[in-house]
């Protein structure tokens, strides 16, 4: 996902007008993403109707997306030559090490990206268990297990991002802060590209696709069984719920494919210019424009996540009304928690 490289790197040797347009767009995108995901956290944490495991996972996902959007704003305003408002250059050796290893390398952006991807997987798998194995839900997904799983996801996200510590080092040139670490061959960059493509894109996408497939197969089988038993009302309700669920999951999967594929293919094929000699397109101006568009598109996934996962969710809409409309009367007399079925 080369979209997570700093915008300064993305637009080296590009026209300032193009760079300024893109970094401003990223800043706006980041602000919208922060506000949208913050709204999700406020609504779910404030409304008791939404206090359950499913919605706490959605809060965790929103936090990861919000941090990624904050990093997007930070990169645009600190690193990009056309838009930066702070021209900070560390003077000490320790300051240069911290700047190059943790900021210039974008390790935080990668960590938040991994956290977003795998928290999204947890939400999908949690709903899979709730819909496919509802009788086993309480036994399989205990509060303790989910806390451990969430902790492991955040730890794994930072662990997977560690290779980016070895991309830049403090420069010996007094006019430069960082310089790219030179390797004897491109093996490190090639392995890094393959690892990132598999761990941040292919693996979570495969897990979610498998969960979506199993949900659809199970719901179809249950609907058929209900029809055979002449339970028409129940079968009709199940078909409607299935259609709504499949519609939401299709949007989720489609958004992932559309918004993540360009950046992941770019990083895999043209990672850090390793193949510019073998693939002419990687060094062309057309590639720079394509990379810029992919950069914007990638972060947009964190912007639309609140829309896909929360605004398509019936109880969240009720919570949104309760949060911003004091005159709205709660219909929470029903004690049955239907939060596991997004309607």
pLDDT tens per residue across span 104-160: 788 888 899 999 989 988 988 888 887 788 888 888 888 899 999 999 999 999 999
Please report whether residue 338 resides in a domain: no
Is residue 227 over pLDDT 70?
no
Please report whether residue 21 resides in a domain: yes
Is residue 10 over pLDDT 50?
no
3-state SS assignment for residue 179: strand
Please report whether residue 340 resides in a domain: no
Assigned token pair, 214: 């199993």
Q: What is the pLDDT of residue 66?
A: 94
Q: Rounded to whole angstroms, how far apart are CA atoms 7 and 100?
A: 15
User: Rounded to whole angstroms, what are the CA distances from 150 to 14, 118, 133, 199?
Assistant: 41, 9, 21, 17
Please report whether residue 268 resides in a domain: yes
Q: Rounded to whole angstroms, how far apart are CA atoms 245 and 5?
A: 35
Query: Partners of 178 in the beta sheet?
Result: 170
Cβ atoms of 19 and 7 closer than 8 Å: yes
How many other CB atoms are there within 10 angstroms of residue 163's CB atom?
Answer: 16
For residue 334, the Cα-to-chain-centroid distance in whole angstroms is 34
Sole residue written with tokens 């086993």: 136
From the list 106, 123, 67, 107, the residue with the least C-alpha distance to 252 is 123
Please report whether residue 103 resides in a domain: yes
Contacts of 128 (CB under 8 A, 6+ apart): 211, 214, 215
pLDDT per residue as tens digits for the range 164-209: 888 888 877 777 778 887 776 777 777 888 888 899 899 999 998 8
Angle between helices 232-269 and 285-309 (to 10 degrees): 150
Query: Partners of 168 in the beta sheet?
Result: 180
pTM here is 0.81
Is residue 30 over pLDDT 80?
yes
Q: What is the mean pLDDT of residues 69-96?
A: 73
From the list 301, 246, 305, the residue with the least C-alpha distance to 58 is 305
State the total domains in the chain. 1
Residue range(s) defining the domain that contains residue 236? 2-324
Please give the DSSP secondary-structure letter assigned to residue 142: -
Please report whether residue 318 resides in a domain: yes
Q: Phi, psi at residue 180, to the nearest 5°? A: -70, 135
Q: What is the pLDDT of residue 75?
A: 75
Please report whether residue 341 resides in a domain: no
What CATH number is associated with residue 222?
A: 1.20.1070.10
User: Rounded to whole angstroms, what are the CA distances from 242 to 71, 220, 235, 315, 340?
Assistant: 37, 8, 10, 17, 13
Assigned token pair, 111: 């960590």
Q: Rounded to whole angstroms, how far apart are CA atoms 117 and 197?
A: 12
Please report whether residue 320 resides in a domain: yes
Please give the DSSP secondary-structure letter assigned to residue 182: P
């Amino acid at each position: 996902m080369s979209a997570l490289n700093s915008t300064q790197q993305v637009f080296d040797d590009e026209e300032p007008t193009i760079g300024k347009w893109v970094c401003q767009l990223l800043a706006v995108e980041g602000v919208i993403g922060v506000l949208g995901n913050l709204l999700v956290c406020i609504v779910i944490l404030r409304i008791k109707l939404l206090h359950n495991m499913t919605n706490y996972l959605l809060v965790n996902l929103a936090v990861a997306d919000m941090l990624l959007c904050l990093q997007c704003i930070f990169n645009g305003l600190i690193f990009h030559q056309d838009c930066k408002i702070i021209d900070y250059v560390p003077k000490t050796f320790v300051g240069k090490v911290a700047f190059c290893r943790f900021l210039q390398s974008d390790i935080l952006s990668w960590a938040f990206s991994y956290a977003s991807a795998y928290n999204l997987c947890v939400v999908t798998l949690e709903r899979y268990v709730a819909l496919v194995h509802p009788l086993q839900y309480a036994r399989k997904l205990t509060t303790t297990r989910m806390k451990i799983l969430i902790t492991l996801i955040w730890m794994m996200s930072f662990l997977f991002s560690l290779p980016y510590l070895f991309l830049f080092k403090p420069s010996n040139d007094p006019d430069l802060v960082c310089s790219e670490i030179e390797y004897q061959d491109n093996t490190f960059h090639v392995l890094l590209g393959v690892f990132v493509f598999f761990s941040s894109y292919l693996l979570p996408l495969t897990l979610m696709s498998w969960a979506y497939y199993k949900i659809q197969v199970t719901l179809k089988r249950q609907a058929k069984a209900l029809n055979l038993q002449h339970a028409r009302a129940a079968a009709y309700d199940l078909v409607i719920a299935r259609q709504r669920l499949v519609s939401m999951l299709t949007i989720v999967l489609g958004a992932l494919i559309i918004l993540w594929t360009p950046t992941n293919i770019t990083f895999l094929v043209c990672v850090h210019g390793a193949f510019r000699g073998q693939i002419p397109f990687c060094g062309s101006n057309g590639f720079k424009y394509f990379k810029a568009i992919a950069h914007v598109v990638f972060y947009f996934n964190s912007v639309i996540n609140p829309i896909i996962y929360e605004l398509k969710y019936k109880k969240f809409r009720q919570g949104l009304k309760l949060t911003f409309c004091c005159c709205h009367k709660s219909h929470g007399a029903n004690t049955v928690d239907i939060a596991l079925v997004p309607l």
